[in-house]
Chains A and B, each alone.
Chain A
Amino acid sequence: MLAPFRWLDELAGRLGRWVLGKVDTVRQISAFTLITLGVAVTQFGRAPQVVRPLIRHHLVRSGIRLLPIIAFIGSALGLLIIGQTLRLLYQVGQEDLIGSLVVTVIVRELAPLSAALVVLARVGTSTVVELGTSRALGEVEALEALGIDPIHYLVVPRVLGITVAVFALTVYLLLFALVSGWLVSVITQVPLSLDNYLAQIAQALRWQDFPLLAIKSLTLGGVGALIACYQGLARPLRLEDVPGAAARTVSESLVAFLVLDAAFLALQLLTFS
């Protein structure tokens, strides 16, 4: 290639390698997901006395222990978005639009995404560190030597616990946001009764919102958990590789969340049109 265009050739080469690397990561995470699903189905009911307490443990850790921060974030969303917008709408005489706004912004977008991000930050990263350390110290091979499938013992309980936790936290976050939004309207003396406020939200909600919200929050939770488990467990790690794996989990999960969010937006547009 001519010298002036050599940089363009190098740039295209780098870009191509980057794209191929990302495609390969998606392929490997997809394969890991299928393996995990296969183990969850084929070994369903195996060693329930060990696996069920583990699921409970991860549910408590990813769900109940995060309730205070979810309450805080939900209240903040209600205060900042519902409260402020309600006041603004009242000033321009359009307070009847609050139901549509709450459903579009909070229910369909921010609640599942915020819950998934909180769980990713608090539990996803620690999951990578735990699994990565176990992998680096050879504990995974020790499980195999005892006839214990590492996916069944280490991954399935975490994925189930985190997935259900994100769904439950989404519901709680919504409740806190709705209550705090109405409280702000009371404090700022916007003349909107609780009945009217709830009736507007109920009117803006469609029946499809309920299954879509459940599917979206479960999907975000499941994908985040699978990426964390993949980064911690699926590849040979040394102890010094563990922080890098945690950082990759955050960046890959964020990208996955945004891609899934866009996919669900498209699905909502198709469903509601």
Chain B
Amino acid sequence: MKDAPVIELLHAGIAREPGAEPLLSDVSWHVLAGDFWVVTGSHGTGKSALLETMAGLRPCDGGELRWFGEPVALSLAKDSGRTALRQRVGLVFEGGGRVFSQLSVAENLALPVSYHTGCSLEEALDRTAALRTTLELDRLAAAPAGRVGRAWMQRVALGRALALAPEVLLLDNPVAGLDPSQVRWWQAFLTALSAGNAVTGGKSTTLIVTADDARPWADIGRQFAEVRARSWKVVDGSADPGLSRPAVIQARG
């Protein structure tokens, strides 16, 4: 399973916006299929910018981003010939997941399916019904997504990303501000997703999660990295910052 990298950052700089001073520089990171990365760091260190760069939403400040061996340009979303590649990597934003507030919860999940498969919205709603049930969103299906609680918005964003069955899922601080029962649900769900569950048809999903605190993920993640003071520190297998695995990530601050 672990052969070619699914996502690679090669000597990339990470900046909040083009032209701004980089938050991280010369990052080289190889994410392999089946990995479960947990990237920790305090607020403002550049975790979100790193994830959005890896998702192809921000340009690298130098260097290169590759998905499945192919270079990724910023215009990927606009390139109708490469939508198949785009669908292989999903992103869940932090802080409510940036759900489409004008659409209902069910429509948020159905929109990407309808858009990319050409089926009607009604058909897409049927196709995503099982996913809604798995995410315990059935009772909120008709509610406007902008009016459900923040914890549920985060699940809607997760469902929206999973609706396209991505092979790699990037999650930006998914449990920030959630109560313990919600955190436990996310831990259990992502563990099952990494191992392969009904949502993915039994296939393992490669996961990269960012978090302010590594502790909730210590027993779940398999690879760990820390962003601090414009540099990376890679830790392996636990949240112990003393262990490094430079063969996987190399970066200089």
Contact = CB atoms under 8 A, between A and B. Distances in A.
Interface in A37-51: 39, 42-43, 46-50
B115 A153 contact: yes
B100 to A, nearest CB: 6
A92 to B, nearest CB: 57
A51 B121 CA distance: 11
Contact of A149 (B77, B114, B157): B77
Interface stretch (B82-90, B134-142, B240-248): B82-90
A79 B55 CA distance: 60
Contacts of A24: none
Interface in A129-180: 130, 133-134, 137-139, 141-153
B112 interface: yes
Given A43-B80, A151-B78, A141 B98 contact: yes
Contact of B120 (A49, A134, A137, A138): A49
Contact of A141 (B52, B112, B120): B52
Contact of A42 (B80, B111, B121, B160): B80
Contacts, number: 82
Interface in B139-192: 157, 160-161, 164
B101 A137 contact: yes
A159 B52 CA distance: 29
Interface in B96-126: 97-102, 111-112, 114-116, 118-121
Contacts of B157: 142
A138 B93 CA distance: 9
Contact of B164 (A133, A134, A146): A146
B91 interface: yes
A49 B121 contact: yes
A244 interface: no
Interface residues of B, number: 32
State which size class the interface on A falls in: 20 to 34
Contacts of B78: 39, 149, 151-152
A145 B121 contact: no
B98 A139 contact: yes
Contact of B116 (A133, A134, A139, A147): A147
B76 interface: yes
B60 to A, nearest CB: 16
B129 interface: no
B98 A142 contact: yes
B57 interface: yes
A145 B80 contact: no
Nearest to B86: A147
B115 A50 contact: yes
B77 A139 contact: no
A53 interface: yes
Nearest to B110: A50
B157 to A, nearest CB: 8
Given A50-B115, A130-B102, A137-B98, A143 B80 contact: no
B90 A50 contact: no
B101 A139 contact: yes
Nearest to A53: B121
Given A49-B114, A50-B111, A144-B77, 19 more contacts: A39-B78, A47-B116, A50-B115, A134-B102, A137-B101, A139-B98, A139-B100, A141-B57, A141-B93, A141-B98, A142-B93, A142-B98, A146-B77, A146-B90, A146-B161, A147-B115, A147-B164, A149-B77, A151-B78
8 contacts: A43-B80, A47-B118, A50-B111, A50-B121, A137-B101, A142-B100, A142-B157, A145-B77
